[in-house]
């Protein structure tokens, strides 16, 4: 089995297991052992280790571990990564088990988390002009 998969229509899929970059960064297991645990063959590993997204993810975890160790924030980030797939499935569910308002909330949250809602742009546009206000009363 190859590690690099094409995320057909589900953008929540990275093409590799979300926890693998962290495990590589932790260096608690040898790469052959990690590959065996994830079902990755030699060709899969060779293409994965050259994948820029994978390499950036490993480098990001290495930096996070230098700063924070295995912090709560890092653990929450791992959970959030894996929850994207669940969110995608719920949003695209065609049965009536998932109410439309739940789907709408998940869509809005995903847009906001991706920074596509414009809230950062609006905050930057307002900037420091609203940060300080001075009123002088002369009467």
pLDDT of residue 26: 86
For residue 59, tell me if it sits in a domain: yes
User: What tens digit of pLDDT does each residue of 63-120 get?
Assistant: 888 886 667 777 787 788 778 888 888 988 887 888 989 989 988 988 888 888 877 6
Number of folded domains that form the chain: 1
Q: What is the largest CA-CA distance in the chain?
A: 81
For residue 136, tell me if it sits in a domain: no
For residue 8, tell me if it sits in a domain: no
For residue 63, tell me if it sits in a domain: yes
pLDDT of residue 81: 77
Parent domain of 98 = 20-130
Closest listed residue to residue 19, CA positions, set 74, 90, 88:
74
pLDDT of residue 74: 76
Which pLDDT band holds residue 124 (cuts at 50, 70, 90)? low
pLDDT at 9 over 80: no
Residue pair 21/57 in contact (Cβ under 8 Å)? The answer is yes
DSSP state of 4: -
For residue 116, tell me if it sits in a domain: yes
User: What tens digit of pLDDT does each residue of 29-73 get?
Assistant: 999 999 999 999 999 999 999 999 999 999 998 888 888 666 777
Query: Whole-structure pTM over 0.75, yes or no?
Result: no
For residue 67, tell me if it sits in a domain: yes
Q: What is the DSSP track for 29-93?
A: S-HHHHHHHHT--HHHHHHHTT-HHHHHHHHHHHHHHHHHSS-HHHHHHHHHHHHHHHHHHHHT-
Helices 100-113 and 72-91: angle between axes, nearest 10 degrees: 130
For residue 39, tell me if it sits in a domain: yes
């Amino acid at each position: 089995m190859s590690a690099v998969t094409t995320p057909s229509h589900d953008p929540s899929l990275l093409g590799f297991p979300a926890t693998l970059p962290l495990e590589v960064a932790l260096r608690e297991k040898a790469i052959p052992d990690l590959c065996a645990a994830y079902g990755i063959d030699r060709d899969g590993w060779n293409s994965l280790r050259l994948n820029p997204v994978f390499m950036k993810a490993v480098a990001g975890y290495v930096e996070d571990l230098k700063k924070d160790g295995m912090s709560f924030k890092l653990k929450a980030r791992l959970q959030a990564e894996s929850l994207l797939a669940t969110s995608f499935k719920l949003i695209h569910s065609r049965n009536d088990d998932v109410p439309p308002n739940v789907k709408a909330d998940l869509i809005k949250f995903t847009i906001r988390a991706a920074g596509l809602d414009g809230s950062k742009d609006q905050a930057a546009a307002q900037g420091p002009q609203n940060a300080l206000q001075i009123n002088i009363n002369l009467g």
